[in-house]
Chains A and B, each alone.
Chain A
Amino acid sequence: MISTGIDVGARNVKVVIVNDGKIVAKIMVPTGFDPALSASDALRKAIEQSGLAESDIKQIIATGVNAEMTSHATGKVSMVRAMAKAGTYFFPNAKTVIDVGAEDARAVKCDEKGNIADFVANDRCAAGAGAFIEAMTRALELNLEEMGALSLKADKAIPMNAQCVIFGESEVVTLIHQKTPKADIARAVYDAMSDRISSMVRRLGINPDVALLGGVAKDVGLVSSLKSKLGVDLLIPEEPEFASALGAALSSSLEHIEDRVISLPKVELGDGDNGKGVKKEYWRWPEYRKTVEGMDPKKAKVITAGIDVGSVGSKAAVMLDGELYTWAIMRTGSNSPDSARKILSWALEGTGLTEKDIQYIVGTGYGRVNVPMAKKAITEIACHGRGASYLWGPKVKTVLDVGGQDIKAIRIDEKGKITSFLMNDKCAAGTGRGMEVIADLLSVPIQEVGAHSLRVEKDPPPVSSTCVVFAKSEAVSLLRKGWTKEMVLASYCNAMSQRMHELLNKVGIEPDFVITGGQSKNVGIVKRIERLIGFNCLPLPKKQNLELDPQTAGAIGAALFSKALYEKEQKA
């Protein structure tokens, strides 16, 4: 009996042909831009390799995220089922099968026949999936083999905060600039990932015979880290990357045989867009500084400053007796203390003031503990609450801060005191960084994303996944279907707004409502959130006809705390 399995995955298409229980062909090709074409190509190559005729192939069972994209399949099987089959084919005693794919991961508990008893899948968030390692190799400028081998030479286990693929990259870049040895970084990447995978596996309970399948099982760095996290040895077959396709082939049963001849078109796969020349950076937003005219720092009794070193942008605000005087905003560099120094000196440029004239400085934001001239570090939640109260006045009750790498929903009372808050910094969906990734993918300048997204007659349904990694592949497939960029942006902004709305619901939304952070400037988000909550955000604040910037709310709040703390110090 001849059966064929095909796994049309996120990165690669794998085909395995099994003849009377023996593997007669194994082929892997990249999924590329057109999964259907790549699937046909892989099937044709596999048939060639097997020495069989096309007419011998009667059953093709498909699996994988793009399984429905191939028209050749006679049946479909879930990845969980395919993995259970493959796991018990290789290791009849294996009761737990772990599969780590490019964009998802799963663990299956099964009996000796490969029947599933229980399973847990991580298919809504790319954390813990192969894409994580892949992104980190790019940041480390290593290839996969080098990174795995290097990680085994690590001396130190350093913790990594990022779980999300999108954030991991920036964390690795920061570690490189801190001169952390690459070996230690590589190990940290594997530890973060295996921590996530083992948390998932532990939910099923760990039996001694654990099989690890999927291409990631070839990565010595991950295998070593996962072994120590799980505390058991791992069973790994040769060529674990073909397990899914093999499992699919083994899932076919005689009952389903259709008498059909499969004809495969000859295909020419293009090279894709190699992006010749210098790539334009669509995510780049303008850096600037402003000073309020007609204010005299020489007459001020108290001069304070707030420095907000965010994950993406650094902001500084200087206040004279608690009134905003000057501010600046620029991209955060790889070194927080440098970014803090640069942004403050830029804010002070042309004012005649120097750092010494400032009586108290508070640091806030992601890099707040690394602001060398700050007397105190205060969380960005407190600073954004206070800053929003200053910018829009004490009527503000609900603040949504959309930062580069996190979203904060904050409730404040009429005194500007925080009554409840939440911060979502685990997932890049809905954050400024997520928006930058999509802007870059679609080649639309970041400042124009909102306006473009509103140029649709009717809002298309939101992209189904909020994970940026998945949304990116979804956006590509929507473009392939003929959607315009505007429609894709509308769909993405729609999904982001819904996510922000859900977070806001957790703390409760009460007017007056405002948005701070970079996304407050994205009309595509603002309009959609207003639609969802049923009332409008307060308009952008002004001071003497000068437009104030909600992205600086954190720095302003920090400068106000500086004043309060300075006065408290003077009294004591």
Chain B
Amino acid sequence: MIIHYGYQDGSGKYYVSIDAEKCDACKICIEKCPQKALKIETVMIDIEDKEVAVVHEAHRKKIQYTCASCHQKKELHCAIACKKGAIAATWVKK
């Protein structure tokens, strides 16, 4: 189950997408994120609960600013760090 965090408004599209089935809650992404925007949370997949990495609530509505520095340098620390390839991002500015 891929969970897309972020939003789209008049200014563009800003998402961090985490595959909750691939994620094994190893926490490497949490350590590597320069903005401390990730954390571990229980997510329900079908009727089973699973611990996975999620984007912090406080950052979900301002990803446009939170992730800006990584996108500018074209170095997505979270996605690079993830050994399972569970993290991806979308960044489209209008």
Contact = CB atoms under 8 A, between A and B. Distances in A.
Given A163-B61, A568-B47, A426 B9 contact: yes
B9 A202 contact: no
- Of B4, B13, B15, the most chain A CB neighbours within 10 A belong to B4
Given A200-B65, A203-B68, A568-B47, A124 B4 contact: no
B41 to A, nearest CB: 12
Given A378-B44, A429-B9, A466-B9, A421 B4 contact: yes
Contacts, number: 79
A503 B8 contact: yes
Contact of B8 (A420, A499, A568): A499
Nearest to B60: A426
Nearest to B3: A421
B1 A424 contact: no
A417 interface: yes
Nearest to A195: B62
Contacts of A424: 7-8
Interface residues of A, number: 40
Interface in A391-449: 417-427, 429
A430 B57 CA distance: 22
B4 A467 contact: no
Nearest to A162: B61
A161 B57 CA distance: 9
B46 interface: yes
Contacts of B3: 420-422
Contacts of A507: 4
Nearest to B12: A124
B1 A427 contact: no
B2 interface: yes
Given A420-B1, A421-B3, A506-B90, A199 B9 contact: no
B34 to A, nearest CB: 13
Contacts of B60: 426
A424 to B, nearest CB: 5
A426 B5 CA distance: 11
Contacts of A470: 10
A467 B6 CA distance: 16
A196 interface: yes
A73 B62 CA distance: 37
A318 interface: no
A466 B10 contact: yes
A109 to B, nearest CB: 15
B47 A561 contact: yes
A48 interface: no
A490 B65 CA distance: 33
A379 interface: yes
A382 interface: yes
Interface in B1-55: 1-11, 13, 15, 44-47
Contacts of A561: 47
Contacts of B65: 199-200, 202-203
A199 B62 contact: yes
Interface string A539-566: 0000000000000000000000100110
A125 interface: yes
Contacts of A163: 61-62
B87 to A, nearest CB: 14
B1 A419 contact: yes
A422 B8 CA distance: 11
A168 to B, nearest CB: 12
9 contacts: A124-B94, A125-B11, A203-B65, A421-B4, A422-B6, A426-B9, A426-B61, A470-B10, A503-B8
Interface of B: 1-11, 13, 15, 44-47, 57-58, 60-62, 65-66, 68, 90, 94
Given A422-B5, A561-B47, 13 more contacts: A202-B65, A420-B1, A420-B2, A420-B4, A421-B2, A424-B7, A427-B7, A427-B9, A429-B9, A466-B9, A467-B10, A502-B8, A507-B4
